[in-house]
Homo-oligomer: A and B are copies of this chain.
Amino acid sequence: MSEMLPGPRLLPLVDAPPPERRDAARNRELLLEAARRLVHQHGAPGVTMDAVAAAAGVGKGTVFRRFESREGLMAAVLNYSESEWQGAVMSGPAPLGPGAEPWERLLAFGRSRLETTLVHAELIRAAGRAGGSRSFAAYSFATRHVHYLLHELGVTGDLPLLAVALLAPLEALILDQQVTVEGFPLERVYAGWVDLARRIVGVRT
């Protein structure tokens, strides 16, 4: 028993999440792909968990072990879709990507976010607030990006809150209400957002 202590191989002060077994990882891929396909075919509300499990050739329990809940699965699909957009913002062509003036980037961001939200509206609804605290990547990403742009523009104040104020009117719930229910044309909504941005950032052209 009292051997030479081999010394800790790793010191997991904060417990590292144990790695995923090979079959588990494989099934996660299978499931995500099947889910993406089915959502594309039948729309998010028309996809049942049993269907996803069957399409992936896997038991239902497995679906829930890999992705917590239906919302979790939808959030994963959504994340996958949004990652393309995130790439465009981080390293795509200007003015959305880097290279343009911050104000131009902000305008491009608003328009792009507006459209992306509407395209993914169904999925966003289905994802709910997936898994609670670990809010899915898109929200946090957008917030940080706007925060950065505001900083770049020399805006002073509580930047995290101002960033949220700028993003809130672009939330799916609200956009859906304005565009689908009240019938505001998209251009009007965008123009309104630009006006808001102008007032928050300060006077502009």
- Interfacial residues, chain A to chain B (CB-CB below 8 A): 129, 132-133, 135, 139, 157-158, 161-162, 164-165, 168-169, 171, 173-174, 176-178, 181, 184, 188-189, 191-193, 195-196, 199-200
Contacts and interface: CB of A to CB of B under 8 A. Distances in A.
User: Interface SS of chain A: helix, strand, loop or mixed?
Assistant: helix
Contact of A199 (B133, B191, B199): B199
B129 A162 contact: no
A63 to B, nearest CB: 23
Contact of A161 (B157, B162, B164, B192): B192
Most buried by B among A177, A188, A191, A196: A196
13 contacts: A129-B173, A129-B176, A133-B181, A135-B177, A157-B192, A157-B195, A158-B191, A161-B192, A165-B193, A168-B169, A168-B174, A171-B174, A196-B200
Contacts of A158: 188, 191-192, 195
A80 to B, nearest CB: 22
A135 B173 CA distance: 12
Contact of A165 (B132, B133, B181, B196): B196
Contacts of A173: 129, 171, 173
